[in-house]
Amino acid sequence: MRFAHGDRTDVGRGRPENEDSILVDPEDGLYAVADGMGGHRAGEVASATAIEALKAAFLGGQPVDAAVAAANAAVFAKAAEDAALRGMGTTLTAVALRDSTALLGHVGDSRAYLMRDGAVTQVTDDHSLVEQLVREGRLTPEEAQKHPQRAIITRALGIDANVEVDTYRVDLRAGDRILICSDGLTNMLSDETIAGTLRRHPDPQQAADTLVDMANQAGGDDNITVVILDALSDGGEAPAAEAAAPVAVVPEPALPPEEPEPAEGRRGGVLRSLLLWGLPIVAVVSIAFGAVGWYARRTYYVGLSADRVTLYKGVPGGLLGWQPTVDHETDLTAADLTEADRADLQNGHRFANRSDANKFVERLQQQHEALAGTTTTTTTTTFAGTAVPEAPPTTETTR
């Protein structure tokens, strides 16, 4: 079996930078999409670091799931050693092709789809809050696609020293097509539109270009990345039509076989499944979600809001859907700052706690007064007496 591919990554129309990264390596049979997030350009660094580490580990002989775990370790280490990158994260969905098998490693909400005999199925499960709510029956897939918190992901690379990697194996047949993409595609286009486009364009590059163009036409709110892989018979073009066969997507490792229901009847079975499966899933999601939220909300930064120096709670640009909130505005404006400070605040100057952030504001205030030469009582500034003890970490799940 041989393969053809098409790919494209695009900044979209709603973001200043492209924080997605892409890997297309036909020689080694490795392809991946990573969607980074974090303040300033940290998202870009996170996704690029993940792709680089993935490739290095894979070429070093590691299987794709171990290579994704190595990518996690690389992003986590980089975030730990550089304060400006702290809190960055990325999704990663990788496909390794060998003979006629595709092995997938997956963390986050970048997706892989398989088209076989014209039918398109989603191979990967999103690690996102809305996907969890859909699985629990609390949202329909249509509601999930429009949900304001659809960007919140429950698993990402770079957040913890270890990460659980989902793996899948697809036994390919000639004519199969795999799509890997970031959420900038899937939030803009419905599954039906994506499937129709994949069917209409037999050329993989043309299909990739068309999908990106259509996502941009639909608004292009986010960065858009698409990789398309076509499995071809060694003889040449894929056969136009083949007898229909069931799609063989095998999640690995397989779940243990379901135990028979206990003799006492239904009630016992329902109760047990709730305890064994329901509780742990809810608990794990709540803890992961709460932990990210707690991190995103316990840090502070000082930035500019309509030219006014403002103290924010959170991470510039938000983290995994947790948007920063205004702690308070100060009396200082951008015009009161030196050029260097102004540039510094443009991107948000980050602090581990509120008191450090307040000290920084106090320094800006003193510097402004000194430069203006208006006062000698610089010890009684606006913020000297307003230090408030830090609030305990919160585990709220609403913004």
Instruction: Give burial (CB, 10 Å; 0-12/13-18/19+) of 235.
Output: exposed
**Both tokens assigned to 398:** 């609403």
CA distance 364 to 306: 18
DSSP string, 243-300: ------EEEESPPPPPPPPPTT-HHHHHHHHIIIIIHHHHHHHHHHHHHHHHHHHH-E
The answer to whether the CB of 113 falls within 8 A of the CB of 123 is yes
CA distance 84 to 46: 12
Instruction: Choose between 147 and 359: whose C-beta lies nearer to Mg ion.
Output: 147
DSSP string, 133-179: HHHTTSS-HHHHHH-TTTT-BS--BTSSS--PPEEEEEE--TT-EEE
Taking the complex as a whole, how short is the minimal distance between the CB of residue 42 and Mg ion, in angstroms? 14
Contact region for Mg ion (CB under 5 A) — 181-189, 250-258, 344-352, 353-361? 181-189
- For 287, phi and psi rounded to 5 degrees? -65, -45
Q: How many residues bind Mg ion (CB under 5 A)?
A: 5
> For the window 285-304, what string marks contact with Mg ion as x by the rule CB under 5 A?
--------------------
* DSSP bridge pairs for 89: 37
CA distance 21 to 348: 24
Taking the complex as a whole, how short is the minimal distance between the CB of residue 125 and Mg ion, in angstroms? 17
Taking the complex as a whole, how short is the minimal distance between the CB of residue 223 and Mg ion, in angstroms? 6
Q: Does 65 bind Mg ion (CB under 5 A)?
A: no
Which residue in the set 126, 166, 176, 183 belongs to the binding site for Mg ion (CB under 5 A)?
Answer: 183
Taking the complex as a whole, how short is the minimal distance between the CB of residue 184 and Mg ion, in angstroms? 5
The answer to whether the CB of 253 falls within 8 A of the CB of 164 is no
Site for Mg ion in 219-248 (CB under 5 A): 222
Instruction: Choose between 53 and 153: whose C-beta lies nearer to Mg ion.
Output: 153
Instruction: Choose between 126 and 341: whose C-beta lies nearer to Mg ion.
Output: 126
Contact region for Mg ion (CB under 5 A) — 58-66, 174-182, 193-201, 380-388? 174-182
Instruction: Choose between 12 and 175: whose C-beta lies nearer to Mg ion.
Output: 12
Site for Mg ion in 15-44 (CB under 5 A): 35
Taking the complex as a whole, how short is the minimal distance between the CB of residue 139 and Mg ion, in angstroms? 20
Taking the complex as a whole, how short is the minimal distance between the CB of residue 86 and Mg ion, in angstroms? 20
Contact region for Mg ion (CB under 5 A) — 180-188, 292-300, 322-330, 346-354? 180-188
Taking the complex as a whole, how short is the minimal distance between the CB of residue 195 and Mg ion, in angstroms? 21
DSSP 8-state secondary structure symbol assigned to residue 48: H
Taking the complex as a whole, how short is the minimal distance between the CB of residue 84 and Mg ion, in angstroms? 21
Instruction: Choose between 10 and 230: whose C-beta lies nearer to Mg ion.
Output: 10
What CA–CA distances, in Å, run from 215 to 11, 13, 113, 144?
A: 11, 10, 17, 18
By CB under 5 A, name the binding residues for Mg ion: 35, 182-184, 222
